[in-house]
Amino acid sequence: MTEPSSQYDNAPELQSLSLGKETQYDNSFDAKLLQGVPRSLNRNGLALGDNLPFSGVDIWTGYELSWLNSKGKPVVAMASFTFSFDSVNLVESKSFKLYLNSFNQQRFSDENHVLQQLEKDLAQCAQGAVSVELILAKDFSSQQIVAPRGDCIDELDIEINDFEFSRDHLKDATSDEHVSQMIHSNLLKSNCLITNQPDWGTVEINYVGPKIDHESLLRYLISFRQHNEFHEQCVERIFSDLMALCHCEKLTVYARYTRRGGLDINPFRSNFESAPANIRQARQ
């Protein structure tokens, strides 16, 4: 198993997380359950500096949100959360789950007060812009499932013997042909930085520049299979490696991960596109 990179070793911001520790579930609402992880932990290791080469968002979907109305009757909803790429912190997922669970026995007069509470608490934790959309039960039937965009590279008949992460797969991986291309892979798997639990995802790559050899790219993506980082960190690493080694002129990296604990995480990074709508894929 690939060890976390040196920038994470003994980081005090990670030592205090509830992730990977036994947790007591409480029926009381508590915004203090939310825990942030500085984005700089990963970005410093990638030598990104203050002038980031991308913009983007982290799009989360919450499938297990419930509260009580003013009469004590339960209400259930889904929620879409959008965090700006330039917030100081990303939100740690277990703490997010515990925070959402703390709504279960809390009374709210209407859904607008729920939304306002969510936006206030999440923005304070992330230290950046957050937008929230609630999807009430009456609107569940309008939810869609879409296929990944672009050509799938997963059917390439390649042999893999080394599962250690390596950006070297992208070295000399381009040709002189200049292309505009959108591709995707369903074979992205990494592991949680703290617990080593598997994170499964589909990644879409849209780029303009020298043509990238699909076999080399697939080997690179598969090399994340035993790599330990959070979802957002993996996407920024992919973006940085493609820019540095494949010399993309325009680039979007968008990963949609399967849900865990009632939440899915979908980081989007681009230097030329706006973030898409939050529409789930089949595995989510």
Query: Which amino acid does the sequence have at 281?
Result: Q
List the structure tokens of 26. 């409480």
* Active-site annotation holds for 192: yes
**Beta strand ranges found along 108-150 (DSSP E):** 130-136, 145-146
| Cβ neighbours of 79 (radius 10 Å) | 19
Q: Which of 58, 121, 192, 241 is catalytic?
A: 192
Contact 111, 76 (CB under 8 A): no
Q: Which of 58, 121, 199, 241 is catalytic?
A: 199
* Residue 195, CA distances (Å) to 187, 190, 191, 231 in order: 21, 12, 8, 13
- Give the angle 40-17-24 at the CA atoms, nearest 5°: 155
Q: Is 268 helix (H, G, I), strand (E, B) or coil?
A: strand
Contact 131, 58 (CB under 8 A): no
| Catalytic residue IDs | 192, 199
